[in-house]
Structure 1
């Protein structure tokens, strides 16, 4: 009798067994074929016109019996062609490389994937022979080069079972770890004696959302315990076979630390699982420069030859892969810590990482968010941060100065490459001329510059060969960086639709072109809606409809708004109607200083005073010092290091009685914890409006009737609520807040602020 069934992807098995050699980020051409959705679609469309019997994106799966384990291997074939009595399984790979440089033996892993799909298809359809077609699509020329190989079913069977034999010990270990995990989850109880107010409701709602494979947007104020209230039901769901892994996504280091501590709390109560925290390559790299190649880095040398044994050993020995542990084991086994963490994550139950590993098309973990996305339970912490982060992820820009600099490097060395850069530079000159003729510094269009894409694609084609032959020459790294910038630009252009505009800006003597993603909901929805279940939560998701509309939700998404678990009397909120609109700010500086001084004198303690900009902060602070002296005042500097940030926060201790002049939306207005008497009050000046910019105004234009609210009001009120949220952190905390702006007396703002504050004085 079979014990259990586990699932694996074709690609995951193939890469684990067959990948070998060293990590090498030097441009080698053959390693840089990129998978472009648009290219796949074009070739699939062409095949639909050529072949009467053609199917694209065909899901295939087969169960293999390994000892007494049922292994379901699944994947998606790019295309299946039935031409007469011949059946072809087609694997499509897109590239910028000249097809003359691609031969039949270009990449063994590509053939291996095709052979795996071919075997599954042949088995299901009782075929004795089948063809694998490997097609390379040249993106710039749209030319195709294909290689066909015929295989007998017995030949494929031998290949597949050799692969599975190599993979067998990982299958057995994976099963053992899963059984141990699930047994521990059955016995796992909520780790605290009782639920806080609202906490059980959040936990139960999360559990039911996962059970129903739905999306939840939850506003849960500070103090409810959002991390445990989302992680606990997710872990319980995992143990019941709902999803295959939990992806805990964060925007900041501090929230990653809270998630790690919460997992540790569950483990102390009996949970057995493997959790990992992913750290950016630049932060975890052991070398002075991030250069991943075996000539420079000993941790890259023979990485793929060593890594399978390392992973097997670590999974048997360890279950907490924190940054500290990853670094320790990477040094011990002399393997790259970043790649080790990525490879280990494939075997972990809970992955804590930044948003970009899930959503950013340039950094997304393809194994989790393209091939096996419907197995993910997504927990998106501090979801209010995701809108701006998503706009950054799905936007891209190019500068004329970089194009010109690149052309100077290759001039006299690579004639065709120089010509392609010169043509791109000429295009930028035309853009500048257009701005000059209209006597403006910026413009945006709802159309794409398709002619620019052609020029950029031509550069990529010419650069492909240059990067292979010109290694170690002067300016090589700059050209390589430009290559990947342009490749990223082209990649994002594939997403361009009605949610985008093309923005041209003149910055001094430079010209920038940007594909600006105004509304990221469609791109985010590809991840949020396709996952097993998605929970997006924050203390500040007001109004919920705004976040649902922009973060990939829909009309069927669940929504939950919970009141503060703390007594209303703990936070006293006051308002002052001083006009803080931009044109009146400077006139009201003296009055503002007086209000600040009086409020902080009414009840002595530590205060944070949040200003709408650094510029205004400096003006007010200089005048405040003239009027009242600088004793017991500190000022937030611009672009603080982590050490400077910690130094600033060290000033907040009971009895310090300081007034800290800060900027709203900055590093001290969210994500910091100053409980008790470390912070007894906040003053918020203005309504938190984002800085006026071309992009903010584009957002306003795009959303029309709701534009001003979407561009200014809602992002502003979020920053206000985050700043106020610094004051009450624990049940016993008490504090006071002053909101300075006449708009706080407007019905729109009253309705946006928490109902707990409706008795504001």
Structure 2
């Protein structure tokens, strides 16, 4: 073992052992595990018990044939010459999966080899220290090994990995060479597209965050992917993550990558893509959408694709990276050919792919895969976030949670004997909390009542933590035989407790009562910046892009992007004469004026349709409002074709709604602002010639949004704008953006509400609109 001046490949100890030491079945049956905070506290507890002179967090590294392996060993006791790897757990240790135990031994043996080489030790005692979080009892598993044996083990692991490492180095060189010569996939840039591409390249080159507002229709997807790919070899960027808000965004990204891969080649299939551009592209998909056996648990005793997973993984992994193009269907095909789970194959391949295309939760969620890999492997990661105007609300959802009194009450009534007391204490705290927050257990006149709490209910959270611990211990003692609802309630409780640990001014706690025994306790994130800032700091560069990313201060404040972030606003290629914008200031869409607004809105819809028959979209603030206008239009103008969005439309129903928008057709489609048809749909030319928007899109003036307004006012001094006006108008501008999709399009936009005439509203509308 020796250190090379310039190692050809680097790998962390954990990643090395993950690759070489796992074997046997995939085993993801529920095993209650400590939280990250409990794990850190457990490590501190164990090391705090050790004698004076005990060494903690020892940085170690060693090289074998150009492969540099490095990591941090948990602790070393020089008095007993013992190297310790500390693991926290809950419940019966004998139920730990065999592949997990094998991984732990491999890690401590590799660390042992590195320590012996560094300090000239002839032998070493290796110890796996398992700390039960519940009892705080340590279980010590030890073995004594010579330095020669540990060196042989280390070199064997390196040899198993080295072929892969050399393959990866060759791939990286080929990838970077190809990307340096990459050509733009079209003969010329669209108006505004080059400006956006240059801004994205500069962000990647300088390692900064860019907030780019660029109009719909200029080709933002390829204008962000192309320059980032070009920057990867020169800036040493390891991975690119293209993150989307919805499934159609993933498809657009994959299509753009396909065009980039076959630029100037006239290519077609996935094989052509990879022959011309050696780039590994992986589509990350939710487990629920790719699971081949949704009725089976994720372990070898239940699922045939989990049995022997790690034994078949090497050949599947090799076949997958050789294929390179791994969208959902291609990944599934590779997995089926090798008889393993496609979801967990995809999780493994995220480590080895150059470009990952997936939902924003894969990087920004509390337990995000890509964020964890970037941290663990020290990646220089480039982020591209599409439709970034949605990230505020998506992130709020990621860091919010709620508990339902009725669900826990039902669990209490059917609970096994060991859980009756802890769940009983929890239910008593529920009742006490409800009494303290209003004196009644149900809303007035059958209506829900809502209240923002002054602080976290400490006694309730304490009882919840105790109940969660009791359920965890019970499940550890009864694996596989418990009611699935028990696990479901446990996950909810653990999630709530984790949020409670980080509770602060970025969130609020509220209580909604729907009737006796049916209260809902919520932890709602208001300012996602506090959670997202570390994610942006981890990335080498970030580009957030959208057609509606103004005002920039709103997104900077609420998303927590770095202070040196750059803003780019690409001028619209569209001309004012392409879009006739009318404000109907005589109409009020306020709740109190809804009934009076129906006939004026119908007059506007019918009048515009008579002047220019064709296809239109009409947007409303709610389904109730939509249905009222639709009914009034049908009564007064039964000859005018119309169809409408309904609650909870399935994909086939959404497709049928959009299928009505064909050249030569006529009519008005009714939709809810901010819903499935308010953004992300493309109806160019005659497929859509106008839109009516009968709302400012403002969130309801309810106690929650008033509390949000107060919190945002306190922190940023922009309560009304940040809570109401800006989010509403982002939806309006997105919906209006469906009308003009190319320089050839012509259309009409009618904004129906007197508040559109106000200065503070008009200044938020696109500059190229000329309102009348």
Superposed pair shares fold, TM > 0.5: yes
Which of these residues, 4, 13, 29, is aligned with residue 10 of structure 1?
13
CA distance in 1, matches of 2:331, 2:739: 36
Within 5 Å, give how 1:606-755 maps onto structure 2.
606-629=615-638, 631-704=640-713, 705-755=717-767
Query: 2:404: which partner in 1?
Result: 399
CA distance in 2, matches of 1:659, 1:653: 12
Answer yes or no: is the 8 Å Cα contact 1:606–1:677 preserved in 2. Answer: yes
| Number of residues of Structure 1 aligned to a counterpart in Structure 2 | 746
Secondary structure at the aligned position of 2:640 is classed as coil
Cα deviation, 1:417-458, whole Å, max 9, x if unaligned, reads: 221111112111112222341787332335333434443333
Answer yes or no: is the 8 Å Cα contact 1:435–1:442 preserved in 2. Answer: no
CA distance in 2, matches of 1:718, 1:103: 49
Cα deviation, 1:260-279, whole Å, max 9, x if unaligned, reads: 00110111024220101011
Answer yes or no: is the 8 Å Cα contact 2:578–2:745 preserved in 1. Answer: yes
CA distance in 2, matches of 1:280, 1:693: 34
Give 1:667 deviation, angstroms. 0.1
1:294 aligns with 2:333: no
Which of these residues, 323, 326, 331, is aligned with residue 321 of structure 1?
326
Check 1:233–1:123 CA distance in 2 against 1; reply closer, same or farther (3 A cut): farther
Cα deviation, 1:239-263, whole Å, max 9, x if unaligned, reads: 2352211111111111100000011
Give 1:344 deviation, angstroms. 1.9
CA distance in 1, matches of 2:596, 2:94: 70
Within 5 Å, give how 1:429-508 maps onto structure 2.
429-437=431-439, 441-445=449-453, 447-468=455-476, 470=478, 473=481, 476-508=483-515
Answer yes or no: is the 8 Å Cα contact 2:193–2:218 preserved in 1. Answer: yes
CA distance in 2, matches of 1:286, 1:424: 38
Cα deviation, 1:456-484, whole Å, max 9, x if unaligned, reads: 333343333433554565x6111122222
Which of these residues, 260, 263, 274, is aligned with residue 254 of structure 2?
260
Relative to structure 2, which stretch is displaced further, 533-542 or 157-166?
157-166
Which of these residues, 385, 389, 396, is aligned with residue 390 of structure 2?
385
CA distance in 1, matches of 2:136, 2:711: 34
Cα deviation, 1:301-325, whole Å, max 9, x if unaligned, reads: 2111111111112322x11101111
Give 1:226 deviation, angstroms. 1.1
Query: 1:303: which partner in 2?
Result: 309
**Over aligned residues, Cα RMSD in angstroms?**
2.9
Query: 1:330: which partner in 2?
Result: 335
Relative to structure 2, which stretch is displaced further, 433-442 or 294-303?
433-442
CA distance in 1, matches of 2:512, 2:315: 52
Give 1:297 deviation, angstroms. 2.3
Query: 1:760: which partner in 2?
Result: 771
Which of these residues, 545, 552, 565, is aligned with residue 537 of structure 1?
545
Secondary structure at the aligned position of 1:691 is classed as coil
Give 1:10 deviation, angstroms. 2.2
Query: 1:165: which partner in 2?
Result: 159
Answer yes or no: is the 8 Å Cα contact 1:96–1:139 preserved in 2. Answer: yes
CA distance in 2, matches of 1:38, 1:698: 32
TM-score by length of 2: 0.90
1:201 aligns with 2:213: no
CA distance in 2, matches of 1:101, 1:337: 26
CA distance in 1, matches of 2:84, 2:762: 60
Answer yes or no: is the 8 Å Cα contact 2:22–2:100 preserved in 1. Answer: no
Secondary structure at the aligned position of 2:289 is classed as helix
Answer yes or no: is the 8 Å Cα contact 2:305–2:340 preserved in 1. Answer: yes
Which of these residues, 185, 210, 213, is aligned with residue 207 of structure 2?
213
Which of these residues, 223, 227, 240, is aligned with residue 221 of structure 2?
227
1:251 aligns with 2:234: no
TM-score by length of 1: 0.91
Give 1:88 deviation, angstroms. 6.6
Secondary structure at the aligned position of 1:505 is classed as strand
Check 1:711–1:117 CA distance in 2 against 1; reply closer, same or farther (3 A cut): farther
Secondary structure at the aligned position of 2:504 is classed as coil
CA distance in 2, matches of 1:56, 1:222: 54
Check 1:34–1:635 CA distance in 2 against 1; reply closer, same or farther (3 A cut): same
1:62 aligns with 2:61: yes
Relative to structure 2, which stretch is displaced further, 634-643 or 130-139?
130-139
Secondary structure at the aligned position of 2:561 is classed as coil
Could you tell me which runs of 5 or more consecutive residues in structure 1 were left unpaired when the two chains were aligned.
none
CA distance in 1, matches of 2:199, 2:348: 33
Relative to structure 2, which stretch is displaced further, 46-55 or 301-310?
46-55
1:421 aligns with 2:429: no
Query: 2:525: which partner in 1?
Result: 517
Query: 1:347: which partner in 2?
Result: 352
Check 1:489–1:92 CA distance in 2 against 1; reply closer, same or farther (3 A cut): farther
Give 1:142 deviation, angstroms. 6.0
Answer yes or no: is the 8 Å Cα contact 1:21–1:303 preserved in 2. Answer: yes
Cα deviation, 1:469-505, whole Å, max 9, x if unaligned, reads: 54565x6111122222222223333332331222222
CA distance in 1, matches of 2:503, 2:82: 33
Give 1:749 deviation, angstroms. 1.1
Query: 2:267: which partner in 1?
Result: none
Give 1:339 deviation, angstroms. 1.0
Answer yes or no: is the 8 Å Cα contact 1:34–1:93 preserved in 2. Answer: no
Query: 1:19: which partner in 2?
Result: 22
CA distance in 1, matches of 2:345, 2:96: 30
Check 1:364–1:696 CA distance in 2 against 1; reply closer, same or farther (3 A cut): farther
Give 1:409 deviation, angstroms. 2.6
Query: 1:186: which partner in 2?
Result: 180
Within 5 Å, give how 1:123-134 maps onto structure 2.
123-124=117-118, 134=128
Check 1:369–1:415 CA distance in 2 against 1; reply closer, same or farther (3 A cut): farther
Relative to structure 2, which stretch is displaced further, 596-605 or 736-745?
596-605
Answer yes or no: is the 8 Å Cα contact 1:223–1:564 preserved in 2. Answer: no
CA distance in 2, matches of 1:308, 1:534: 33
Cα deviation, 1:202-256, whole Å, max 9, x if unaligned, reads: 1122112112211111111112211111111111122235221111111111110
CA distance in 2, matches of 1:665, 1:85: 66
Give 1:624 deviation, angstroms. 1.5
1:156 aligns with 2:156: no
Answer yes or no: is the 8 Å Cα contact 2:201–2:227 preserved in 1. Answer: yes
Answer yes or no: is the 8 Å Cα contact 2:9–2:166 preserved in 1. Answer: no
CA distance in 2, matches of 1:105, 1:736: 63
Cα deviation, 1:340-384, whole Å, max 9, x if unaligned, reads: 111122211101011111111245346424413642211111111
Answer yes or no: is the 8 Å Cα contact 1:80–1:87 preserved in 2. Answer: no
Relative to structure 2, which stretch is displaced further, 118-127 or 500-509?
118-127
Secondary structure at the aligned position of 1:673 is classed as coil
